[in-house]
Amino acid sequence: MKTVTRTRAAVAAATLAAASLAAALTGSGTAQAAGGPAQPAAAGLAIAVHPDQVGQQLRAGFVGLSFGAATVAADDYSATDLAGYLKTLGPSGTLRVGGNSGDGTFWTSTNEAAPSWATSGTITPAKLQSLAAIAHATGWKVILAVNLKHPDAPRAADEAKYAQQIFGRSLLAIEVGNEPNFYEADADAYHADFETYAAAIRAAVPGMPLTGPEAETNHSSWLGAFATADAAHPDVSLISDHTYPTSACGGQVATIPQLLGTASVQYENTNAQAALSAARQLHVPAAMTETNSTVCAGTAGVSDTLASALWSLDYNLLLAQDGMTSAEFMDGTNAAGCDPYTPLCPTTGDLTPRPLYYGLLATELVGSGEFVALDNPDSADIRAYAVRESGHLTIVLDNVQDPASHGATTVNLALGLRNLHCGTATTLSTTSPAGLAATTDITLGGQQVGAHGAFPTPQHTSVSVRHGAANVTVQAGSAVIIRFS
């Protein structure tokens, strides 16, 4: 397998000193992204695609949601049409149940009284059945965390047994603990406890897939240490990690330029590579089972804006291109309220999609296939990806520049294939004058997600192809997905 072009982080660094490609490529079609104030004449950017240089697979169902175990304990989401919004995101995906509230939830199958530490509620078989109904209705899989902070391996095994009975094939794995770096001395101590849980769970449910180490963002060193410890007696079926490129913890304030900047790109890529390296040691896949824009529930004006939608589209494709199997965005339903980074907010009897949800939906519209290499001399401003599937080539152009200070960019695409005759472009943008800071009026293909996840057929703009080349104009603060055939 050939390696897809340099990581976007490396390209971005080189771009700072790179000149534009000298010659513009021919092409007669133009697709223009809507939204944002009028700007001066479009700048030009030449991108060459190399369809023969094949990389990792973009898998169907890459996008997932992660939510706190307290949501299951409260069972509040069962009163909403979560299933409808999941179906809109695609016929497959992953629901990961864990989070910090997993440390404060109590499992019982015998109606025991909860201990005093169980401040996040009690999970019972009936609560799992409500979640299973959603999983079965949508085709989505579930990763279920068991409490490790308050260690009780037999209780965890009992929960795994009931989970297997209730979810059946919808149960993807049992997660042993959430962010153990907060209560374990080190990765070796965590692995020792992991082994105790693994023995109990597999005695109760032979063959049950397990995942770890689930360390907090900024603890990528745990991945390698855990993989090394597990190599002698491998018990893990999936390496899982958490990543947030910006922070609202301890009084920190994230910004849109920070979220969309190249430092975030480098951080995201570094974390993905650490997870993938650990996974290769154990010959298992790797997933980003808890992630979002800003740790500690997000930053208003950043995590709930168009910027988060553009970021998530780019971030998903970066992780998938690196080789990750999925990314689960926290907080998937947040029945207790509506934090800034929440993709779906609870309202009376239903949920309301936020801008981030549109970025996840845009990722689904890219489809599946193999990433192929491309040369992009301006990856700091225009994030570009190419995915090939059968006779189709999909190009994603994500213009993360601020429309308040930047005009449109005309991208001259050399597609590298002569058998492509036309393209259709779908745009992620806003009609709001707030641009990247817009929290409303977000559209994908000119459409908005309605009640119960209803999403009308996206509108497309035709893109002409001539001699294997095409022109696409992308407004600052928008993204375009072009499918060529």
Per-chain mean pLDDT for the chain:
90
Pair 82, 149 in one domain: yes
Q: Where are the alpha helices (DSSP H) in 234-305?
A: 256-260, 262-282
On whether residue 91 sits in a domain, the answer given is yes
Pair 283, 399 in one domain: no
On whether residue 395 sits in a domain, the answer given is yes
CATH assignment at residue 341:
3.20.20.80
Q: Please count the structural domains in the chain.
A: 2
Pair 80, 136 in one domain: yes
Pair 306, 447 in one domain: no
Least confident of 135-144, 230-239, 345-354, 466-475: 345-354
Pick from 313, 337, 367: which residue ends a domain? 367
Please compute the mean of the pLDDT values over residues 122-132 and round it to a whole number. 96
Pair 360, 374 in one domain: no
Query: CA angle at residue 326 from 320 to 331, to 5 degrees?
Result: 125
Least confident of 1-15, 31-45, 311-325: 1-15
**Per-residue pLDDT band at 402 (split at 50, 70, 90):** very high
* Separation CA 81–CA 60 (nearest Å): 22
- 50-64 tens-digit pLDDT: 999 999 999 999 999
Q: The whole model's pTM is what?
A: 0.91
Element (H, E) at 296: none
Pair 122, 83 in one domain: yes
Least confident of 28-37, 148-157, 195-204, 365-374: 28-37
CATH assignment at residue 386:
2.60.40.1180
Pair 397, 305 in one domain: no
On whether residue 12 sits in a domain, the answer given is no
Q: What is the pLDDT of residue 78?
A: 73
Pair 360, 388 in one domain: no
Please compute the mean of the pLDDT values over residues 341-364 and round it to a whole number. 92
Pick from 317, 347, 367: which residue ends a domain? 367
Measuring CA to CA, which residue among 109, 111, 110, 107 is closest to residue 150?
107
Pick from 367, 396, 421: which residue ends a domain? 367
Position 2 pLDDT exceeds 70: no
Pair 339, 459 in one domain: no
Measuring CA to CA, which residue among 40, 42, 33 is closest to residue 478?
33
Cis peptide before 103 (omega within 30 of 0): no
Instruction: Print the domain residue range for 284.
Output: 60-367
Please compute the mean of the pLDDT values over residues 69-78 and round it to a whole number. 86
Please compute the mean of the pLDDT values over residues 79-100 and round it to a whole number. 94
Pair 292, 431 in one domain: no
